[in-house]
Amino acid sequence: MVWDQLPLPSRIPHLKSVREVLSLPAVDVQRLTGLAQPEVHQLLTVAAAVCRRHAPLTVLQLQRGECRRCESGLRLSVSCPVLDGLLRGGLPVGGITELSGPSGAGKTQLALQISLSVQYPVEHGGLGAGALYICTEDSFPIRRLQQMISEQAILRSEVPPSVISGLHFSDHVYIEHAADLDSLQVCLSRRAPVLLAAGLVRLIVVDSVAALFRSEFQTEDWLERNKQLLTFSTMLHQLSQEFTTPVLCINQVRGLKETFSLRFNPSRCASFCLRPLSSSVTPALGLAWANQVMMRLMMLRHQTTVSRGDQSSTLRRLEVVFAPHLARSKRDVGVWREGVRGVPVLE
């Protein structure tokens, strides 16, 4: 960084960067540099000033948009006014959003829809860039994506048709398949930064997280699994923060009453400390993963059907399990030819 500008008396072994200076206890720095205490203090102050991205801002200044790098309240619309209302605008552009649910609930449907909605310009709720869609389970549902693309004009009837026809949706969904943890890591550490830095992509979807972390580890290896989960989620957070990009992770569920062959089961213990849901299932991967998630959504399938025109759909429900800015609430949802739409709430 600006190592040369720091007030160091002479060459310092072991310390090669500003960050290293700060990530050691002051006592260690003193010992390594041989400087007196006040000089160490001064060194740390200079290093800290270099490390900080910006001075403390007041929230009023933030609201007025005086800091371009900071949380500006920008949201990514999910292409449905009812669901955008549930989410108070859409997906936040920082942090991990998790969408869990049983198979067939419609999670992939919603993820595909968001991969299209990100491509709209900002004034229409998008971010003006494409999506990186990482599949870990089945192959990518390309036919369904094409069908949704062809029906965008119906889903987004409020957007001028010229805007819609000007967007070449399929060109901007970058599909990756990651069959194991190593290839997932390669994708996130090599491919993703390139696409993000070039501005080609401003949404990362992982469909699903559970698949890789559940299959590759025996239940005894939960410590190792948690470590890998943490590495993976750290990478996602770094990408999300550096490029102000929303990250959507799809997760599976498991039954609350599932018994395990082991005498102890940390996941089971942890699931009782999380908020009881209206369903009998809970998101997979336990507390270690839950601690990394900023917004947790769950999609559940219901028995009833709902119809609109010539189409009918099994009713689903999208529920906000937790989020820092949202109340616990839900909306009924249908999955149609043109996409996922919330059923308007009757007053």
Interaction mask 9-28, other proteins, x per CB under 8 A: ----------x--xxxxx-x
Applying CB under 8 A, the site for other proteins has a residue count of: 66
Nearer to other proteins, 290 or 318 (CB): 290
CA 118/CA 248 separation, integer angstroms: 12
Interaction mask 278-307, other proteins, x per CB under 8 A: --------xxx-xx-xx-x-----------
In the block, residue with structure tokens 């500003």? 18
In the block, residue with structure tokens 């069908």? 147
What is the nearest approach in angstroms of other proteins to the Cβ of residue 257?
16
Is position 330 an interface residue for other proteins (rule: CB under 8 A)? no
Query: Considering only 50-58, 135-143, 149-157, 176-184, which stretch makes contact with other proteins by CB under 8 A?
Result: 50-58
The dihedrals phi and psi of 214, each to the nearest 5 degrees, come to: -85, -40
Query: Considering only 107-115, 142-150, 195-203, 323-331, which stretch makes contact with other proteins by CB under 8 A?
Result: 323-331
Contact 245, 204 (CB under 8 A): yes
Structure tokens at 144: 């369904």
Dihedral (Cα; 60, 65, 69, 75), 10-degree rounding: 100
Is position 218 an interface residue for other proteins (rule: CB under 8 A)? no
Looking at residue 124, its amino acid is: H
Position among 270, 301, 332, 337 found at the interface with other proteins (CB under 8 A): 270
60, 137, 182, 186, 206 from 177: Cα distances, Å:
43, 8, 12, 11, 10
Position among 1, 7, 71, 168 found at the interface with other proteins (CB under 8 A): 71
What is the nearest approach in angstroms of other proteins to the Cβ of residue 157?
27
Is position 210 an interface residue for other proteins (rule: CB under 8 A)? no
CA 181/CA 212 separation, integer angstroms: 6
Is position 59 an interface residue for other proteins (rule: CB under 8 A)? yes
What is the nearest approach in angstroms of other proteins to the Cβ of residue 319?
12
Establish how many alpha carbons lie within 13 A of residue 264's alpha carbon, considering only the half-sphere containing its beta carbon: 5
Is position 51 an interface residue for other proteins (rule: CB under 8 A)? yes
Residue 186, SS3 per DSSP: helix
Query: Considering only 62-70, 128-136, 179-187, 335-343, which stretch makes contact with other proteins by CB under 8 A?
Result: 62-70
In the block, residue with structure tokens 């942890």? 270
Structure tokens at 313: 């759909």
Is position 53 an interface residue for other proteins (rule: CB under 8 A)? yes
Cβ atoms < 10 Å from Cβ of 272: 9
Residues 92-131 that bind other proteins (CB under 8 A): 92, 94-95
Establish how many alpha carbons lie within 13 A of residue 145's alpha carbon, considering only the half-sphere containing its beta carbon: 21
Interaction mask 30-49, other proteins, x per CB under 8 A: -------xxx-xx-xx-xxx
Position among 264, 304, 309, 310 found at the interface with other proteins (CB under 8 A): 264
Collect all residues with Cβ–Cβ distance below 8 Å to 9 and sequence separation of at least 6.
33, 35, 39
What is the nearest approach in angstroms of other proteins to the Cβ of residue 210?
17
Residue 326, SS3 per DSSP: coil
CA 50/CA 7 separation, integer angstroms: 13
Collect all residues with Cβ–Cβ distance below 8 Å to 53 and sequence separation of at least 6.
69
Nearer to other proteins, 162 or 261 (CB): 261
Position among 60, 257, 259, 261 found at the interface with other proteins (CB under 8 A): 60
Residue ranges in contact with other proteins by CB under 8 A: 19, 22-26, 28, 37-39, 41-42, 44-45, 47-49, 51-53, 56-63, 70-71, 73, 88-89, 92, 94-95, 230, 233-234, 237-238, 241, 263-266, 268-270, 273-276, 286-288, 290-291, 293-294, 296, 321-322, 324-325, 327
